[in-house]
Amino acid sequence: MATLALVEEKTMLTLPGDAVRQIQWRFSDRFDLQMLVQSARGVARGTVARMVAAGERNTHDWTPAKNEMMEAFDRAGITAAFMEPEEGGFISGPKNLALSLAAFELAWVDGGAATSSLAGFLALAPIHERGTAEQIARYKSLSAPPQPGEDRKPWRGAFVLTEPIPYVGVDTGMLSGKMRIAEWKDGEEPMLQVDKRGRFITNIAFANFVTAAAISDDPRIKGSCVIILEETDEGIFDHGTPTKKLVHQLSSTGDPIFNLKVPASRIVGGYTVKDGVIIPNYNHGEVIEAVFKRTRVAVGLMTSAKLLSAVEPVIRYQRERFRGAEGAKPGSLRYEQGIQQREDALHRVVEVWATGEAGTALGFATARLFDTLEPIEKQKTALLKESGIQGGRAEMKALKESEHRAIELLSLSADDPRRAELEADFLVQFVLMDAETNVICPATKLWNTGHGANILREAVSLMGGYGITEDCPGFLANKWMDAQLEATYEGPEAVQRRQLTVTMTSEVFLAQFRAWTLDMRRIASQRPGTGACTLASAMNLWLWTLNYLQKTTDPSGAKLYHGQRQGVTFPLADALCWLIASRYQILDVLELEAKGPFDPVAAEGLEGTLQFLSDLCHVQAASAAGEVSRICAELVFGYNCHPSWDEEEHRSCFLASELDEYEETMPGISAMALDVLASDGTHPQKAGPCAGCAGSAEFLRLQNKLTTCLSGSRLAKDRAAETVSKVMIPEALDYPV
Ligand SMILES: Cc1cc2nc3c(=O)[nH]c(=O)nc-3n(C[C@H](O)[C@H](O)[C@H](O)COP(=O)(O)OP(=O)(O)OC[C@H]3O[C@@H](n4cnc5c(N)ncnc54)[C@H](O)[C@@H]3O)c2cc1C
């Protein structure tokens, strides 16, 4: 293991390469994933980059070149990455990390290209998550690319939830898409008439099938479902006109219209019939929840990929900025370093880079956790089913006991003999992982995309005027604009914040959060340079604030922490995202420190890389601390009325004449008194006597501590900036612009 003494002396010489990333993102032992990354990168930096450079983004239409891109995905194995080997794929088992890695590589060059690949998976996801065995076999096999010697085109799918009126989105129970029974002959499969209009549907120009959300318009069908519609079904399958998007133009989006007669067997997950009524096994909400849980992670990672992709072009631009000018002769500082002579330029690159690292760490951690959770979740469902429990309240009740055990586990010391028993309990494992994913998935989608979009603007601005031209290396302006769509689709920011508002207050999650805080202190004691201590102090402040807000009311007596009170709950959710992104960033660096020395490629220059990545952690932890401190202070104090200078509220103020008297027995008291009223009743020029609130002393103590915990963070930033000014980069970007 690299020692800190060594770490402090070394400087990172080159950009972190694949060997380092494979360790950080935990796929150094997965050859299948490494191959997928390489082939996705080939398509991204080849086919896709050439398309963007050639102006393919300048049309809304689905062009032959865009179609060729889909075929390139097929050839590169990206399409097949969703399938099991028996369905035509090459990766067995859960694929959240695999799909995220592929999306990351594509988004490194173009977000629309990444979306095109993801949208096909999104169409299949309802079937994969909740479909019957027949549905899974049929649609995944049809969608797999042809095997060598096979003469067929793979089916393409689209996911159709959003509707034109009343704009049904991911979070709403309102659905306008209707289904009725068209025909139901005795002993035969019922035929349904599905009438659905979609809005902003990705992949629709060429979709052969869609998975659409629809609700019953017939007393003989209960509730809602997701249903599969095929292009050749009887009726209308109108792909609609292309949406005039300002972003992601390499993906197809449009407003389709469907009016089709389909067998009831197309209901995703099947149905039962009771008293002559068709009851879908899963309503549309249940299917969609299962789908979005996982697919949102890759979207979050897309924005982070773009942030990291911006580093190299920005550094190159800064260094070459003055070359060719009269006064910048080769060898001169101006020629060699260009804008990098200036501290601010370097510090801003550090911020872009640190944000990219944190988002990526968070996103890949989420993807990995979903991979681990998947088999455990299946086991849990099977076990509960054996006991006659299937979803809903009954399941929640059954898991309550496991939640208590999980919380107990988190409170045990490392050498407690009960640990082994609780750790081996897979229901305990399930509730722990479930509580964590329920927070870190919406956090990835919300923070990586929303905050990422803001920081992408910074990256664009670092390129000056060039940044907002089509010629900008790395297509940064496209990436910035595209990030806004990533923040919007699959549920805009409010949807993620709303989910966090609920999941971040679960007892299991909060117990985990407390354990994480202690863990950060432990890490800090061994590796103070990571900012882990700063982070732990910020975590404490956040937890204190949540607790305070949950128990406190505003001056009118209304609860502060309440689902409807988004002014309280949403900022607190935002603050949490900063903290957890920073946590996973630190954990990735620790992983590299532990495993890097055993990998011959990663081991080269490892100390310098570790130093730099630790400095980025410290910088990010300080930014997170600042955000948390600001948000929490506003929430704790902002809901108190400020005292005024009126008779009632200035009673606690000193009068100037009183102070003169006290001064005789307590010399110096005048200097301490803040709110002093003159004999004519005039007061200092400010809103009123200084405000305090119940518990404010404890808040201020924690906040004070947090402020002093920022010690060293700017030194880390200076050190990281120094590295940015020296790190070697290739002569030219490895994709065309
Ligand atoms: C290019 C593109 C591709 C898309 N692809 C697909 C697809 O393939 N399939 C599909 O089904 N859909 C797709 N969509 C639709 C997409 O999922 C929705 O546009 C997105 O979920 C946002 O919903 P909305 O447009 O109705 O925005 P709205 O829900 O109207 O949101 C507008 C604003 O209001 C806020 N807001 C919304 N609800 C609340 C609330 N409860 N509390 C507080 N604030 C709130 C939002 O945060 C946002 O800031 C796509 C959209 C685009 C633009």
- 494 CA from centroid of ligand 1 (Å): 9
Q: Which amino acid is at 223?
A: G
Q: Is 250 in the pocket of ligand 1 (CB under 6 A)?
A: no
Name which of 160, 165, 282, 161 is nearest 224 in CA terms. 282
What pLDDT does 6 receive? 42
- 732 CA from centroid of ligand 1 (Å): 38
Taking CA atoms only, the protein residue closest to ligand 1 atom 37 is 494
| Statement: residue 601 has pLDDT above 70 | yes
Name which of 732, 427, 677, 701 is nearest 544 in CA terms. 701
Q: Is 175 in the pocket of ligand 1 (CB under 6 A)?
A: no
Computed on alpha carbons and rounded to an integer, the radius of gyration of the chain in Å comes to: 29
Q: Is 119 in the pocket of ligand 1 (CB under 6 A)?
A: yes
Which of 60, 159, 258, 488 to mutate to test ligand 1, by most ligand atoms within 8 A of the CB atom? 488
Decide the pairing of beta strands 157-160 and 209-216. parallel
What pLDDT does 147 receive? 86
Taking CA atoms only, the protein residue closest to ligand 1 atom 17 is 489
117-174 per-position pLDDT tens digit = 999 999 999 999 999 999 999 999 999 999 888 899 999 999 999 998 765 555 556 7
**% residues pLDDT > 70 (the chain):** 97
204-219 per-position pLDDT tens digit = 999 999 999 999 999 9
What pLDDT does 170 receive? 56
Q: Is 463 in the pocket of ligand 1 (CB under 6 A)?
A: no
Q: Is 201 in the pocket of ligand 1 (CB under 6 A)?
A: yes
The set of residues, in sequence order, having a beta carbon less than 8 Å from that of 35 and lying 6+ positions away, is 77
Q: How many CB atoms lie within 10 A of CB 235?
A: 15
pLDDT band at 3 (very low <50, low <70, confident <90, very high): very low
pLDDT band at 2 (very low <50, low <70, confident <90, very high): very low
Per-residue buried b or exposed e for 462-496, using 16+ beta carbons within 10 Å of the residue's own CB: bbeebbeeeebbbbbbbbbbbbbbbbbbbbbbebb
Q: Is 582 in the pocket of ligand 1 (CB under 6 A)?
A: no
Taking CA atoms only, the protein residue closest to ligand 1 atom 7 is 201
The secondary structure element, H or E, covering residue 676 is strand 676-677
Q: Which amino acid is at 534?
A: T
571-582 per-position pLDDT tens digit = 999 999 999 999
Q: Looking only at Cα atoms, what is the longest distance across the chain?
A: 103
H runs (alpha helix) in 527-605: 532-551, 566-595, 600-603
Q: Is 487 in the pocket of ligand 1 (CB under 6 A)?
A: no
Q: Is 202 in the pocket of ligand 1 (CB under 6 A)?
A: yes
pLDDT band at 659 (very low <50, low <70, confident <90, very high): confident
Q: Which atom of ligand 1 is nearest to the CA of 570?
A: 43
Contact status, residue 303 vs residue 452, Cβ threshold 8 Å: yes
57-77 per-position pLDDT tens digit = 999 999 999 999 999 999 999
Which of 258, 489, 493, 569 to mutate to test ligand 1, by most ligand atoms within 8 A of the CB atom? 489
| Statement: residue 245 has pLDDT above 50 | yes
- The mean pLDDT of 641-655, rounded to a whole number, is 77
Q: What are the two backbone dihedrals, phi and then psi, of residue 196, each rounded to the nearest 5 degrees?
A: -140, 135
Integer angstrom CA distances of residue 389 from 376, 393, 395, 434, 525: 16, 9, 6, 18, 46
What pLDDT does 1 receive? 42
- The mean pLDDT of 623-644, rounded to a whole number, is 95
Q: Which atom of ligand 1 is nearest to the CA of 119?
A: 8
Q: Is 170 in the pocket of ligand 1 (CB under 6 A)?
A: yes
711-722 per-position pLDDT tens digit = 999 999 999 999
CA atoms within 13 A on the CB side of 270: 7
What pLDDT does 4 receive? 44
What pLDDT does 172 receive? 59
In angstroms, rounded to a whole number, what is the distance separating the alpha carbons of residues 547 and 563?
A: 15
**Could you tell me the pTM of the whole model?**
0.94
481-494 per-position pLDDT tens digit = 999 999 999 999 99
685-719 per-position pLDDT tens digit = 888 877 777 778 999 999 999 999 999 999 999 99
What pLDDT does 688 receive? 80
Which of 118, 160, 162 to mutate to test ligand 1, by most ligand atoms within 8 A of the CB atom? 162
What pLDDT does 273 receive? 97
- The mean pLDDT of 328-336, rounded to a whole number, is 92
Q: Which residues pair with 654 in a beta bridge?
A: 676
Listed as own residue / partner, the contacts of 491-494 with beta carbons closer than 8 Å and 24 or more positions apart are 491/169, 491/170, 491/171, 491/292, 491/296, 491/445, 492/169, 493/446, 493/449, 493/450, 494/171, 494/566, 494/570
Q: Which residues pair with 221 in a beta bridge?
A: 278
Which of 57, 200, 258, 449 to mutate to test ligand 1, by most ligand atoms within 8 A of the CB atom? 200
Choose the weakest-confidence range: 20-24, 223-227, 243-247, 674-678: 674-678
